[in-house]
Amino acid sequence: MVLYYTPEKSAEDQKLKGVLVRLGIRIRNITPEQAGQKVGYLAGLPGFEEMPEQEEGYTGENREEEASVIPEKMLVLCGFGQRKLEEMLNQFRKAKIPPIPMKAVLTEHNSGWSLVELYQELRQEHEKMNAADGRGAAENTDGAADSRD
């Protein structure tokens, strides 16, 4: 399954979803209003429950603010093996889907993070990788955040 977050819909969404459907990958659309929820809950993992808006740590009180906290598309891959991941990325390239740098594989380490926290970690990793090797910010990375230092 893929958790698919987008702050606003675009023409590319249907191409991306079409590739996922053809590969037999389930899609769970995540809205900006859900960005404060734990990734484990969003993925339907046992032991994770929806956090009410008034609970500490849930950042969904201001829905417009949530959309600005995660201003770009994001994919969280749940239950993917290396072969399925490579197949998906190859099909994205063949379909000419623009790169989505904010990708993560769901792990036991990041399942307890909110989607906002996972995004922040991915953004930091992406910036460090681009600074380290001199690449431009528009280039794609296929890294996956699964632990914090």
**Element of type H or E holding 87:** helix 82-94
The separation between CA 38 and the C-alpha centre of its own chain, rounded to angstroms, equals: 12
Residue 13's pLDDT is what? 92
Residue 69's pLDDT is what? 80
75-101 confidence digits (pLDDT tens): 999 999 999 999 999 999 999 999 999
113-139 confidence digits (pLDDT tens): 999 999 999 999 989 888 877 655 444
Burial track 58-91 (b if 16+ CB lie within 10 A, e otherwise): bbbeeeeebbebbeebbbbbbebeeeeeeebbeb
- Cα–Cα dist 67/130, whole Å: 24
The domains of the chain are located at: 11-133
21-68 confidence digits (pLDDT tens): 999 999 999 999 999 999 999 999 999 999 886 444 444 455 445 446
pTM as predicted: 0.79
